[in-house]
A and B are shown apart, each in its own frame.
Chain A
């Protein structure tokens, strides 16, 4: 009898957790940002604001890698397109932030659509191989197309954007941080919304058994191409944020290192979780910015070590961590689980 009531309460707790857990991540993120904003150190504000461009790039990579199932290093191409579009709009006197974001999203989507024509036809590690060429080509173009990119010196002194035509330029570190956080959160939420419901089912069907999905009449490659282009828009917005938070850009910002960093963030976050990608990006950049002080010039070494560690120690990423912990706990103390808790599992499995 007591075991029965115990099961009821644990079920109730589980139900409560299921309702509360989806909100815990955004609430924690909001609390974290609020804490950083409240902190009186402007250097911290600037550092935090500069994490969001890469976080959005990671979200874009996550959409392509986790949802479309195409592991990619090539999303730096739309990221670069968004960044250089924004930079040139700002340099030519267009200061409206919303216009920047729209133009950057459009440029990113266009570039990703173009690249996707080839990439969406392939699967698995071949995509990774081809997208590496895309990333290399982006860096080469950025350093050689001097009229657009300013060569390896990059573009500096880009004017700050204005949120609305009458408002003063967005220069204050705290305001920039709030703005970047708001844009990143909105873009991520919209992407999550767009990838929910039936579309999520469709994409997981494609990842699970593509031949069957195609046999049911779904034009799989077209879907993946559309997702790739949409992810390009997110990367483009990330590029716009790069300009808004840094106000300069060099080809190194849109290079292979950024691509690898974003992919690493996605691996750490768990390939299909967009908030996980944001958390992963913040973690990777945090570690880099803290440790880089002691090891100047050795960011690649650190990045590589994090890659190896993530692959070995975090299979499935942070999102898979609770399930893995639960499993290892269950292995550690099997007698503690009575028959009343295992029974529902078994019946669920047979149904």
Chain B
């Protein structure tokens, strides 16, 4: 029974990790492309979660509306951030942009608590998702499996968009060489803004999909921001495949670790990050060559 509990939370961890990866991919690309460190990222995830928890009333239609609206809300939040940080581009450094997103995060967290109250909310799911299914001899909640499936789908779609479309290639080009992108007639600032909006949408949908697993509450924004930053750093700043691998690891530590060694789980993550930072051979962006 005990082993089953661990296995279950391990699969939870992979699902949660994939969702974090979806969210962190947006964060890492917007950092790599425009240099915007978005400290309001966790707030967008929490926003998606709250919207989903408030709208989903147990019918399939409300569930679909919840996920769609959470995505739209996240994208709108990303748009606000893009508009706010774009005004500081050029004349002022990335530090001012980061501080601005920190201010927006503080405001957003407070507004979310005012709007949705201080309790941890969970969405009401259709009854078909509330049961359990037996997979390979293990009973498993259907909603987690559904979340895992959707997370895999979104991750695959994201991969295709990033690597096999013109838009995706433009994003990579902006990460590599902004001047060259401007040279082929595309405004890199537009790419930055688009990436921030897309990252917001991904954060929103990730937030909506994590609520059945962990719920959403006042601590969600801070926790997910910290986890996302750990993922982005461990995955190598600006790298999406690295972020996905790191995210699954973080997800498993966060779900299994919280059950097995509740007091040490946060330290495991930070320790992993410190080890990755100190043991890296190739310098990260922002690191001085030693």
Residues of A within 8 A of B (CB): 71, 117-118, 121-130, 132-133, 136-137, 140, 144, 210, 220-221, 256, 260, 263, 267, 298, 300-301, 303-308, 310-312, 315
A137-B266, A137-B270, A140-B266 in contact; A125/B103 too (CB < 8 A)? Answer: no
Digitize B44-56: 1 where CB-to-A-CB distance is under 8 Å, 0 elsewhere.
0000000000000
The answer to whether B288 touches A121 (Cβ under 8 A) is yes
Given the known interface contacts A132-B39, A133-B230, the answer about A304 and B285 at a Cβ–Cβ threshold of 8 Å is no
Contacts A128-B95, A307-B99 known; list 17 others, CB within 8 Å: A118-B277, A122-B287, A123-B288, A125-B35, A125-B94, A126-B233, A126-B287, A127-B286, A129-B232, A137-B270, A305-B103, A305-B107, A307-B103, A307-B106, A308-B84, A311-B96, A311-B99
> Which one, A118, A125, A263, A304, contacts B110 given CB within 8 A?
A304
**A121 and B99 contact, CB distance less than 8 A:** no
Q: Are A304 and B230 in contact (CB under 8 A)?
A: no
A18 to chain B, nearest CB (A): 29
7 closest pairs, A vs B, by CB? A307-B103, A304-B106, A126-B286, A304-B107, A301-B110, A125-B37, A308-B103
Beyond A122-B287, A221-B290, is A128–B98 a contact (Cβ under 8 Å)? yes
User: A307–B233 contact, CB under 8 A?
Assistant: no
Per DSSP, chain B at the interface is helix
Instruction: Please report the C-alpha to C-alpha distance between residue A271 and residue B273 in the assembled complex, in whole angstroms.
Output: 28
Q: A133-B230, A300-B110 are in contact. Are A315 and B286 (CB under 8 A)?
A: no
Give the Cβ gap from A266 to chain B, nearest Cβ, in Å: 10
- The residue on B at minimum CB distance from A210 is B288
B203 at the interface (CB under 8 A from A): no
Q: How far is the CA of A150 from the CA of B12 in the complex (A)?
A: 33
Interface residues of B in 92-129 (CB under 8 A from A): 92, 94-96, 98-100, 102-111, 114
Residues of B220-261 contacting chain A, CB below 8 A:
222, 225-226, 229-230, 232-233, 237
Q: Are A133 and B106 in contact (CB under 8 A)?
A: no
Instruction: Check B286 against A122 for contact (C-beta < 8 Å).
Output: yes
Q: Does B274 contact A (CB under 8 A)?
A: yes
Residues of the B chain whose Cβ atoms lie less than 8 Å from the Cβ of A123: 286-288
C-alpha spacing A199/B203, complex, angstroms: 45
